[in-house]
Chain A
Amino acid sequence: MSTTLLAPGFADPAHDAQRLFRSVLDAFSHPGRIVELHDAPAGPGTLSPAATAFLLTFADRETPLWLEAGVDKQEVRDFLRFHAGTPLVQAREAATFAVIIAGGGEPFAGFAIGSDTYPDRAATLVIEVPALDGGRATIWRGPGIDGEVRLAIDGLGDGFWSAWAANHALFPCGVDLVFASETRLIALPRSIAVEA
């Protein structure tokens, strides 16, 4: 029998979740804005604090979660089942949320993109990246951005931005992304066009 201790979740669930939600809402309403999550719990270690905070804020028993092999560890599964009650799924199309490690091919393939009549039924993918700068230069434009923002998220695979262009072209369908690194995150909703 394992004697590993569970990492703690939120110290103050209602208020921690509210503050983190507002930070994520700020990120979604200002795509490209780097948002610092001051109250992000350290979590089980395999996930970044930002990804941990996002999942504890939004995931629960109603939101199936898909984990990429690199983060699909016992301590992560135990942590999310205990603190969020999240069902873990093997099929990508069944997931509401997913955690993906940057660098792999076909990052969005298979996830729910919603339908023309219900575009909200699409997955939100948390992409773990090594850093939010230092990568390939990109220009983002769309709702929430005053003009344009320039970003260079590190660690994304070669085909990533062409896959994003295909996802954006599905609008109003398509997945939404959150790039997580340590305690910071950037949101990329499907409405944003990225020039790479």
Chain B
Amino acid sequence: MPDTTIQDTSPQDGAYNYGYLDEQTKRMIRRAILKAVAVPGYQVPFGGREMPLPYGWGTGGIQVTAAIIGREDTLKVIDQGADDTTNAVSIRRFFARVAQVATTTHTAEATIIQTRHRVPETPLTDGQILVFQVPIPEPLRMLEPRETETRTLHALSEYGVMQVSLYESIARHGRIAKTYNYPVMVNGRYIMSPSPIPKFDNPKLDRSPALQLYGAGREKRIYAVPPHTPVKSLDFDDHPFEIETWTESCALCGSTESFLDEMIVDDTGKRLFVCSDTDYCESRR
């Protein structure tokens, strides 16, 4: 197995408070997180701050991580399953610098995993916290643009519009064609956006022993799924929820069970399928 330890150490930056955010901001975010845990799937508004990176690069996830992280934590950051992509590397280095935390690429060693659009293949355990970066927290937004209206629909648990959109997908394509950001019902009460993870990952959210926190920076919302909480992907009796399958296996580790990325490897269009989760893939080689 290759050595995947990454040297992220850099001099402590004394110009910032621990974890970048000031204590007042952290308390505000921490209060929002407690309410998010108390009402699973409900989006709690919070006073999002400007972060030193643009919206869309994980400002929500970073603020959640900054509010929870401490010196005893070990942080893992993934972007589409990979530890070595730009977004993941820069966020990991950011926290190594402003929070002086240990970082890792190994899922099992991490206490906090910040993720953009994947859930690790390695099953999570009690005590781990998975922090999702969320672009659009409102699952009904594409169906109803008005915030006042979506808020009322959530209050009344009036989700017919979502079922209709899934039905229209079946009418048009013969199946539910949504492959990522697939809506879920949390604890039988709130419809929630699981963030743009592939629907392949939706079953991992259901009754996970880890705590799931979701942070949306531009929209300034935090929501959560506590451990052991039922998370059901929406479907119909005659069109049950299904995840993606591949006829190929991973070209590097041979896995037939993980989420595969398709890569074009030469000018003649030769294709290769490899695991999206780099840590999982490396641990199997």
**Least Cβ distance of B151 to chain A in Å?**
5
Convert B245-273 into 0s and 1s, putting 1 for each residue whose CB lies closer than 8 angstroms to a CB of A. Answer: 00000000000000000000000000000
Q: Count the A residues whose beta carbon is within 8 Å of the partner chain — how many? A: 39
Q: Once bound together, how far apart are the Cα atoms of A143 and B18, in whole Å?
A: 32
> Are A13 and B30 touching (Cβ within 8 A)?
no
Task: Tell me which residues from 3 to 36 in chain A have a Cβ below 8 Å from any Cβ of chain B.
Answer: 13-15, 17-19, 21-22, 24-26, 28-30
Query: Is B226 within 8 A of A143, CB to CB?
Result: yes
Within 8 A of B (CB), among A57-83: 57-58, 60, 62-63
B135 interface hit (Cβ, 8 Å): no
Across-interface contacts of B224 in A (CB, < 8 A): 29
Identify A145's interface contact among B26, B70, B228, CB under 8 A: B228
Count of inter-chain pairs, beta carbons less than 8 A: 110
User: Which one of A44-52, A101-109, A119-127, A151-159 contacts B?
Assistant: A119-127
In the complex the two chains form, is B38's CB within 8 Å of A18's CB? no
Which one of A21, A60, A124 has the greatest number of beta carbons of chain B within 10 Å? A21
Residue A176 CB within 8 A of the other chain: yes
- For the complex, is A191 an interface residue (Cβ under 8 Å from B)? yes
Give me 18 other A-B pairs in contact (C-beta within 8 A), A14-B17, A172-B39 excluded: A14-B19, A15-B18, A15-B71, A19-B70, A21-B26, A28-B34, A30-B226, A30-B227, A60-B27, A116-B155, A116-B156, A117-B152, A118-B45, A120-B32, A143-B228, A146-B228, A176-B38, A189-B39
A residues apposed to B, CB below 8 Å: 13-15, 17-19, 21-22, 24-26, 28-30, 57-58, 60, 62-63, 96, 115-120, 122, 124, 142-146, 171-172, 176, 189-191
Q: What are 13 of the A-B contact pairs (CB < 8 Å)? A: A18-B19, A19-B70, A19-B72, A21-B68, A58-B27, A115-B155, A118-B151, A120-B36, A120-B42, A124-B34, A144-B229, A172-B42, A191-B40
